[in-house]
A = this chain, B = another copy of it.
């Protein structure tokens, strides 16, 4: 259990100077649905995207706004969430580089149904839906690949539903920690540091519980040596025990 003086998290790209065309080209090829394209095809597509940098906490879009872009995380992390009338936030997902978000409603016009916030300093690519439709028309294989990822998104959303209805808070949180360490994990001597700033409130909003309950669960995990944690950071020390909690 470390008594540290500073966050173990790295100060993630506070400026956006690197969020450039070169990065676009190198990173866009990593996105699953462009993976099978040839280099010259990819180049054509890259041109249609524009890159933007967001600071941690910046709103990328807000629920209710007209949905005009499809976006891809190239660096950093993006939180998708719904703000409810009563002031509760429901976090739907936290996206890592390579994930797409925004709108896929290519027919007719639509509105974003969730909000997107940069969870850490992030470089995001966007493409207008009209441009994207043209890409799909030109490269049917891209459409098939996206269909695949979007089926995967539906799947994970359904898993979320299942957890909310069948698992207690402790298990749900264990699951979240496991997923986050897969998405954002960085190997350290003592364990896996989740390279993503997130508070107890964020965790609670992901698990569908309260800050206090999340805090209690995390305290227990730390007492049992499963994690080491501080403000906005978590390091998983004993993945096996975490998995055991999920199974039982």
A residues with a Cβ closer than 8 A to B are 82, 84, 86, 88, 90, 92, 103-107, 113-114, 133, 136-137, 140, 143-148, 150-155, 157-162, 164-166, 208
* Copies of this protein, total: 2
A26 to B80, CA, bound (A): 40
* Residues of chain B within 8 A of A145, CB atoms compared: 107
Asked if A160 and B162 sit within 8 Å, CB to CB, the answer is: no
Given contacts A114-B158, A157-B161, 5 further A-B contacts (CB under 8 A): A82-B158, A82-B162, A107-B145, A136-B143, A157-B157
Partner of A92, one of B105, B147, B161: B161
Least distance between A226 CB and chain B CB atoms (Å): 22
- Distance between Cα atoms of A206 and B236 in the complex (Å): 34
Q: Determine if A161 and B162 form an interchain contact, defined as CB atoms under 8 angstroms apart.
A: no
Within 8 Å by CB of A165, from B105, B136, B162, B164, lies B164
Instruction: Please tell me which one of the listed residues B136, B147, B160 contacts residue A161 in the complex, with CB atoms under 8 A apart.
Output: B160
Do A151 and B103 touch across chains, with their CB atoms under 8 A apart?
Answer: yes
Cα–Cα distance between A182 and B193 once the two chains are bound (Å): 48
Interface of A: prevailing SS: helix
Smallest Cβ-Cβ distance to A142: which chain B residue: B143
Q: Which of B144, B155, B159, B166 contacts A136 (CB 8 A)?
A: B144
Tell me the minimal C-beta distance from A147 to chain B in angstroms.
5
- Which residues of chain B come closer than 8 Å to A144, judged between CB atoms? 106-107, 133, 136-137, 143
Chain B residue with the shortest CB-CB distance to A167: B84
Nearest first, the 9 closest Cβ-Cβ pairs linking A and B are A165-B208, A143-B143, A104-B151, A157-B157, A164-B164, A90-B162, A107-B148, A140-B140, A150-B150
Contacts of A147 in B (CB 8 A): 104, 106, 136, 143, 146-147, 150
Residues of chain B within 8 A (CB-CB) of A208 are: 161, 164-165
Question: Which residues of chain B are within 8 angstroms of A166 by Cβ–Cβ distance?
Answer: 84, 86, 88, 90
What are 9 A-B interface contacts by the 8 Å CB criterion?
A: A88-B165, A90-B162, A106-B144, A107-B144, A136-B144, A136-B147, A143-B144, A150-B150, A154-B154
The CA of A38 and the CA of B113, in the complex, are separated in Å by 33
Determine whether the beta carbon of B155 is less than 8 Å from that of A113: yes
> Bound state CA distance, A162 and B162, in angstroms?
13
**Distance in angstroms between the alpha carbons of A146 and B148 in the assembled complex:** 11
Residues of B within 8 Å of A90, CB to CB, are 161-162, 165-166
Q: Which residues of the partner chain B approach A143 to less than 8 Å between Cβ atoms?
A: 136, 140, 143-144, 147
